[in-house]
């Protein structure tokens, strides 16, 4: 782990996200709590523990006295404060399920057909963001470093500024869309102005940063932008913010050691035993229309159709993790996936060989990395993704530098892993099919060269470096008078 800036303790960091970093479950009416998992929690927990920090978020259930006490104890066990935002069912329906996931999510992934622009969603989004900001205000002071995460909470910085708290930063985990897509949003100017309320704005890729600047130029012509190449300033309404690209990553060292463990090796061996004399292609996705699963299945079918010599020699294992199962659109997507897999298997299955092995459900880390280790090819083809950490996990699991990554050019990870992977347009079915054929026949020397390149990149630019770079720049920005440093020009 990198050494964080020594001055960070002066800022007492406050992390703000939609959900608290916990896993909540109920057993016969009794709540149980355990620390959350995942890269974000892994990276941020040490900062909060060592610097008297606080995490603000929704606990995932209606707040009552019992749950509040449990969360207080959970915070003590984790080593930092947990501050709970109480959201009603109407809040969740309008703010989370509505504006966040039916408006911003599809819009920012360039999928306008899935957008639902309802005024009551927008009003609910503002109301919930105000509640988050109010909670942050009660547990922070002028000197705190406040780091707000993701598309659910874009407006928090705006409300904090109204409350006199201006020391906040924001990181967008999903893509930021190009101007021609973003301007379709009815509240485009209000949301853009809210983002500019933050002192520092972080995006996943340079592409997202450029898209944001283009939107500012088009919608806020009175804004001023500096010529700084990497971290430009934007001055708007007497507020100066800094923007940059900070590609998120994973804990390479931990996951690399996990991949070497006996448990993962045994899990992988048992998995591969089911597919003897075959190369395994792995796909791992949350159930979501942005992941391009139907397009991927169509490409695999096209590959079997055009390259019949691969029949019986490859098996496509698609793991789909359930998500938003109560939403009709996601139910329809699952039915479509089920039907496509049934049709493709029915068309190509031979004695002793089924082309697609379908897993619908969640698996633990050991089993997942066993899948990765056993798979000669990873097929990761989202229609658009902020980063896609599955691609980085797969490479991390390839501890012998053997394996081929087929990656969508529209995934944020393509900017870092493009030179080592086979980049494809997920909408081009034949191109993806050809990539599968190429990956199957790629020689070991070429695999090792490409995989080693990607693994070195992930090891160097790990999740701790991501945190260190973002917070380091935030500290630097907070400590100095931006107005004296920024050479701004009118647009």
Q: Give Cα separations from 306 to 280, 299, 302, 356, 433 (angstroms).
A: 19, 10, 6, 17, 8
Radius of gyration of the chain (CA): 23
Helix, strand, coil percent values for the chain (each to nearest 5): 50, 20, 30
Q: Give the separation between CA 403 and CA 395, rounded to whole angstroms.
A: 8
Query: Is 164:140 a contact under the CB 8 Å cutoff?
Result: no
Neighbouring C-beta atoms of residue 78, cutoff 10 Å:
21
What angle do helix axes 365-374 and 252-260 make, rounded to 10 degrees?
70
Query: Is 90 among the residues known to form the active site?
Result: no
3-state secondary structure of 337: helix
How far apart are alpha carbons 130 and 31 in whole angstroms? 28
Catalytic residue check, 173: yes
Catalytic residue among 251, 385, 434, 468: 385
**Rounded Cα gap, residues 50 and 80, in angstroms:** 9
Active-site hit among 110, 114, 173, 401: 173
List CB contacts of 4: < 8 A, sequence separation 6 or more: 47, 467, 468, 471, 472
CA gap 201, 436 in Å, rounded: 38
Residues belonging to the active site: 173, 385
């Amino acid at each position: 782990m990198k050494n964080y800036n020594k001055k960070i303790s002066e800022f007492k960091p406050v992390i703000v996200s939609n959900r608290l970093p916990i896993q909540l479950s109920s057993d016969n009416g009794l709540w149980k709590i355990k620390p959350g998992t995942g890269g974000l929690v892994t990276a941020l927990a040490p900062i909060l523990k060592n610097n008297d920090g606080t995490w603000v978020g929704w606990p995932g259930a209606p707040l009552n006295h019992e749950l509040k006490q449990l969360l207080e104890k959970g915070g003590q066990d984790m080593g930092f404060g947990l501050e709970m935002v109480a959201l009603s069912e109407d809040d969740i329906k309008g703010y989370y399920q509505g504006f966040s996931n039916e408006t911003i999510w599809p819009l920012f992934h360039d999928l306008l057909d899935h957008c639902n622009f309802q005024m009551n969603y927008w009003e609910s989004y503002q109301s919930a963001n105000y509640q988050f900001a109010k909670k942050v205000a009660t547990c922070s002071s002028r000197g705190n470093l406040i780091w707000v995460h993701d598309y659910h909470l874009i407006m928090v910085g705006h409300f904090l500024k109204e409350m006199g708290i201006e020391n906040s930063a924001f990181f967008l985990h999903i893509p930021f869309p190009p101007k021609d897509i973003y301007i379709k949003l009815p509240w485009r100017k209000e949301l853009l102005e809210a983002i500019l309320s933050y002192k520092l704005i972080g995006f996943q890729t340079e592409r997202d940063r450029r898209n944001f600047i283009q939107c500012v130029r088009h919608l806020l012509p009175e804004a001023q932008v500096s010529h700084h190449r990497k971290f430009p300033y934007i001055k708007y309404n007497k507020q100066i913010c800094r923007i940059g690209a900070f590609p998120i990553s994973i804990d390479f060292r931990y996951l690399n050691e996990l991949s070497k463990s006996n448990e993962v090796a045994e899990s992988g061996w048992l998995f591969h035993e089911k597919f003897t004399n075959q190369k395994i292609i792995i796909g791992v996705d949350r159930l979501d229309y942005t992941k391009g699963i139907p397009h991927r299945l169509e490409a695999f079918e096209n590959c079997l159709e055009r390259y019949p010599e691969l029949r019986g020699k490859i098996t496509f294992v698609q793991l789909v993790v359930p998500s938003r199962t109560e939403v009709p659109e996601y139910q329809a997507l699952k039915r479509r996936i089920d039907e496509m897999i049934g049709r493709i298997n029915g068309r190509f299955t031979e004695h002793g060989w089924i082309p697609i092995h379908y897993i619908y459900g969640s698996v633990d880390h050991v089993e997942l990395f066993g899948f990765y280790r056993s798979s000669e090819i990873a097929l990761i083809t989202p229609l658009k993704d902020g980063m896609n950490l599955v691609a980085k996990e797969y490479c991390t699991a390839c501890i012998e530098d053997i394996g081929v990554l087929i990656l969508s050019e529209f995934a944020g990870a393509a900017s870092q892993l493009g030179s080592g992977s086979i980049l494809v347009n997920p909408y081009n079915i034949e191109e993806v099919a050809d990539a599968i054929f190429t990956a199957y026949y790629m020689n070991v020397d070429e695999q090792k060269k490409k995989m080693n390149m990607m693994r070195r990149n992930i090891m160097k630019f790990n999740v701790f470096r991501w945190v260190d770079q973002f917070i380091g720049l935030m500290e630097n920005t907070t400590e100095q008078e931006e107005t004296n440093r920024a050479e701004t020009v009118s647009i």
